[in-house]
Structure 1
Amino acid sequence: MTGFGQVVIGPPGSGKTTYCNGMSQFLKLIGRKVAVVNLDPANDALPYECAINIEDLIKLGDVMAEHSLGPNGGLVYCMDYLEKNIDWLLSKLKPLLKDHYFLFDFPGQVELFFLHSNAKKVIWKLIRELDLRLTAVHLVDAHLCCDPGKYVSALLLSLTTMIHLELPHINVLSKIDLIESYGKLAYNLEFYTDVEDLSYLQYHLDQDPRSSKYRKLTKELCDVIQDFSLVNFTTLDIQDKESVGNLVKLIDKSNGYIFSGIEGSVVEFSKIAAAPLDWDYYRYPFMLDFLLLL
């Protein structure tokens, strides 16, 4: 039985847990049975109903205390431990495989996804053992667009993560509804989502004394990003029905869900179109029965 799902990754503060909360509720609204799997041992305040929690296997606090590790080293240890005990996770997932769509909420330590191999090995064992079709959803906080240096760093992180994980991959500028509060963009939003010509950012980088002395390095990094021609972004406002629906459609095409049952997909997306325009996932748990009657 083929299963489908999302590997939700991104730097700390990019909104992964909020995304899993809102996305799970949205998918339930259109008729999918969703299982959220928390694989972040540092996330001890979950706003969503968790089907599987890594803290039942290992806890970051215990690892740090027992092995005298900091949070970063502790997270690497936890991922190594999960890889060595992958049968625990497989046994938890198998009963859900027949009729659930999966959201895997991973830690925010970026080194796990472009440097270390343990998280990648966990993901690929799930793919091979359970025949899962997974898409990596890489969240990047939209406020980074307001700082050219940070934006270039986000592009490089996105590129290295894509190459390292070797999964169908969608880069997402999260919290797009808040972008105006961060400051004025140097160019229109399409410039940052399409990533077509980074040379235009060079002038703005040169105006910053912190980055001007690294001008040559920055130019070479921008050339690397453009040479691969892999990075672009879609945008997300997790509280906007249309924004979430458009992202779901992209993910479904990338992992093949849309082709697994054409008739079912048509019905699902007709529900998206008919859903209330003021859909707000914060209110959703209290309005579930009402919305499903509409």
Structure 2
Amino acid sequence: MRESSTVPEDVKQRLNWLLIFVVICFSVLVISLWYLQMIKGEEFKERAVENCIRSLVEDAPRGRIYDRQEELLVTNRPAVVVSIIPAEVDDLEKLSERLSRIIGISPEEIALTVKNYRENPFKPVKILDDCKTNKIVEIEERKDELKGVVLEVKPRRDYLYHDFAAHSLGYVGEIDKEELQRFGNPKFQGGDIIGKAGLEKYYDDILRGEKGGKEVEVDALGQEVATLLYQKPIPGEDLVLTIDRDLQLYGENLLFDKKGSIVVSNPNNGEILALVNRPSFSPNLFANGISSSDWQRLSSDADYP
């Protein structure tokens, strides 16, 4: 008769430890799955929704400026802005290289602009303002290769007579960090356009209007497929000046190649009918962000325009 085999004690002990280890691992796995599904499930669901819903801000057109006869002096025109939504970018370096070949901005500058942005990662970061038509067409044709790139139409200031009454009208520009801190107003965000000088600055509160926006559903390539929510922006109020356009133009022509000032007022009520300063400058230079070369030229001009 064969003797019954017995398992050595040390082997039994190892098997017991192995069984305990397997039970612990299985328990950890079950607890982890329960935690992910029951505790973090809603969070992951919300993040998944965020990944397919895009929130876009729509700037309000600034109020227009007229002369005393309601002749239009300052208005707005549509401009296409090229932006990148950081949260939708898979490979920033590759995207920067592809976009660079289209818009002519170096890949390093594009990537740095996105990396330096510290606000909402789902908010578009402006890369190029007032994009030309041929570049817009190429971006649209290659949109499958440019995931995260969006084209936005925004109102841009248009001073119809260029350097006409520039010192009085003033100009607009992008809000800077110091102004954001000084204003301390949650309505302001980086990239907002505000009055920087002259009447544009003095009456900024009424000219600026109120921003609107929309929430859109996007597909895996970041392309819009449906508008879920839309809030129309409220345009700024118009401004009617006491200045007379024809009288102002006459004064501008008198001092065309000279230095000096002309003030014409109504003796009955003191209203300013013309206010000319020469030399002057075009506020349009500032409307889309003044270039370093233009700023250097103006700031180094001995005539201090």
- Which TM-score tier does this pair reach, normalised by the shorter chain? under 0.3
TM-score of the pair, normalised by structure 1: 0.23
Higher helix proportion: 1
Larger Rg: 2
TM-score of the pair, normalised by structure 2: 0.22
